[in-house]
Structure formats: C-alpha cells, structure tokens
Amino acid sequence: MTVGRLTTKSKFYIDLDYWEQNGRNFREEVYDALCETCKKMYSLEEARLVDHVDPETGQVKRMDALLDCASAECGHAPEFLNPKMPLTRAIFRAFIAAGNEPQSAEEIYARIKKGSPNIILKELLSQQMEADGITAV
Ligand SMILES: [Zn+2]
C-alpha cells in the first residue's frame, strides 16, 4: 500500500520536540509503560541519561533512563504489548519498546502482531497518532 509518498516500509518515530512544544511530558507515558518492579526503581521527577546499547547494531547512545529501561527490560514482558490493547496504544508501545528508533509499519507489525502492515500504516497517519507526535522520518 502507498499513501502519498509513504509505504509500509517508510519509517516513523515519536517526535519528542513536538511533545515539548505542546507542553506534554513524554516521560510520563514511558513511566506508565514500565512494569511494577521498574516503576519502583525510577522516579518520574528525576531525569537521568544512561548508555543505551542497541540490541541489533551494538551502537551505544545516551538515552533517558526510563526509555532505556522500557525498551531493554519491560518491553520484553508479555503485558507490555497485550493483544487486548487498542491498536494505537500497541503502536505507541512498539515505539517505546524500540527506544524510539524509527520503525516502519512492517517492523511494527512484526513486533505487535496485530492488524496488518497496511492497517498500521493507516493508523500511523491518523489524526490520533499525529496528536501523539508520530511523524514520518
Ligand atoms: Zn520492567
């Protein structure tokens, strides 16, 4: 499927500048996604950067500790991406699980196993996801 210039292989990410410009706190969303054990280890108020290792490329980059934990630890827990979740929520969680590395509809589908790449692409372009700062790279 192609929508304008975008296909199920086009990459998207969560634009964190958009969140800041709209006075919204992305860290709250990430904190909500953490498992109960990890919630106890972190405080929402204290922003801390840690070295995050990309599991595929081995590249190290500085990342908010909350997002690092959500992607490296909690993202693997079965309840993190639960099949009963609404699709838009599952897609948002897929970005958190990937440490907000750009992902295509096909890659998101491989992660969440919900809907189809075409359906996910449509969601990525929906007003609801746009309001969550989901942007094509
Ligand atoms: Zn956890």
Q: Indicate the domain borders of the chain.
A: 2-136
Ligand 1 is an ion; residues with CB less than 5 A from it:
35, 38, 73-74
Q: How remote is the CA of residue 101 from the centroid of ligand 1, in Å?
A: 19
Q: How remote is the CA of residue 25 from the centroid of ligand 1, in Å?
A: 20
Percentages helix, strand, coil for the chain (3-state, rounded to 5) are 45, 15, 35
* Coil vs helix vs strand at 101: coil
Q: List C-alpha distances in Å: 20 to 97, 98, 113.
A: 21, 20, 31
81 C-beta neighbours (distance < 10 Å), count: 21
Q: How remote is the CA of residue 63 from the centroid of ligand 1, in Å?
A: 16
Q: Which pair of structure tokens corresponds to residue 67?
A: 């997002």
According to DSSP, the residues that pair with 49 across neighbouring strands are 64
In sequence order, which residues have a C-beta less than 8 Å from that of residue 129 and are 6 or more positions away?
A: 88, 91, 92, 123
Q: List C-alpha distances in Å: 98 to 56, 102, 119.
A: 11, 8, 20
* Coil vs helix vs strand at 1: coil
Give the model confidence (pLDDT) of 113-132 as tens digits.
999 999 999 999 999 999 99
Give the model confidence (pLDDT) of 87-116 as tens digits.
999 999 999 999 999 999 999 999 999 999
Q: How remote is the CA of residue 82 from the centroid of ligand 1, in Å?
A: 15
Q: How remote is the CA of residue 94 from the centroid of ligand 1, in Å?
A: 15
Say whether pLDDT at 1 is over 70: no
Give the model confidence (pLDDT) of 29-59 as tens digits.
999 999 998 999 998 888 889 999 888 889 9
